Amino acid sequence: MRVITIGISGPSCSGKTTITRILQQLVKKTIVIYQDDFFKPDTDIPVDPETQLSNWDCPEALDFERLIQTIQYVQQHHVLPTDYHSNEVNNTHDGSDLVTPQQISEWKKKIHQNNNAGNVDDDTLWLIVDGFMLISDPQLYGLFDYRVFVTASYTTLKKRREDRQGYHTLEGYWVDPPGYFDAIVWPEFLRAHQHVPGPHHQQQQEKQNLDDDHDVILIDTDILSIPEAAETVISALWS
C-alpha cells in the first residue's frame, strides 16, 4: 500500500482542522494524527518566567520524538499504534460541517477526473498530520509529501482563540486565562515561524520569507472562505 503523508500546520485557530476534516471526507482511506495529542503531561508543561502561566505553545511543551515515531509507524504499518488514543477528536471547534454534501460530492468528482497521477485508489492511504508546529521542525518537515500552512492575521486569530471555550488535554481540560493569547500564544507562534510568509507578519516591520519553498501550500483564511480554502488545497493535491 502506498502512503501519502500531508502535514497541515498553522497557528491556533487558523482553520487547519477544518481542512483536515474536509479531506477526510474526500478519499477512501485516511488516518489522522493530531499534534495536540502529543503534549507532555499537564504537570510537565513549561511555565513562562514572566507571566508564571503554563506555556502550551512552545516547542518544549510537545513530545516531538513520540509524534515522529507515530508518523513513521503509520507509514510503515498502515495503522495507528495500539497505544495512540486521541483527545483531539473530542474537540469539535472546526468549520467542516459548514460545507454542504453537494460541495463534497463535487470535489470527489473533481478528484477522480484529475486522477492522472493515480492519487486516488484502493491501495493509497492518506496520512494527515494536523498540528500547530509541524513545518518549523526540520525532522518533521522531512516526513511530509505535501505541506499545507494555514494562517490568518493577528486580529482574526486572536478573536477566534478568545471565542473558544477550552481544550481537552492529556490529563484534563485547559481554558485560556485572560490575556493568554497576547502573552503566550502569539509571541510563541511568531518565534517559531519567522521564515514563513503570510498575514501574521502584518504587525512586524520586517518580514522574512520562506526561501522560495514551493513545497508549502499557503492558505490565508482572512481572504479565503472555508470552501475556497479547501478548493485551493484540493487543486494543489490533485492538479
Active site residues: 36
Cβ atoms of residues 53 and 177 within 8 Å: yes
User: Which residues make Cβ contacts (< 8 Å) with residue 172, sequence separation at least 6?
Assistant: 42
Radius of gyration of the chain, Cα coordinates, nearest whole angstrom: 18
Burial of 198 (0-12, 13-18, 19+ CB in 10 A): buried
Q: Which three cell numbers stand for residue 38?
A: 502529543
Q: Which three cell numbers stand for residue 88?
A: 483531539
φ, ψ dihedrals at 128, nearest 5°: -105, 125
Residues recorded for the chain: 239
Q: What span, in angstroms and rounded, lies between the C-alpha atoms of 170 and 35?
A: 12
- SS3 of 238, please? coil
Cβ atoms of residues 133 and 59 within 8 Å: yes
DSSP strand pairing (173-174 vs 2-9): unpaired
Q: What span, in angstroms and rounded, lies between the C-alpha atoms of 10 and 229?
A: 13
Cβ atoms of residues 9 and 135 within 8 Å: yes
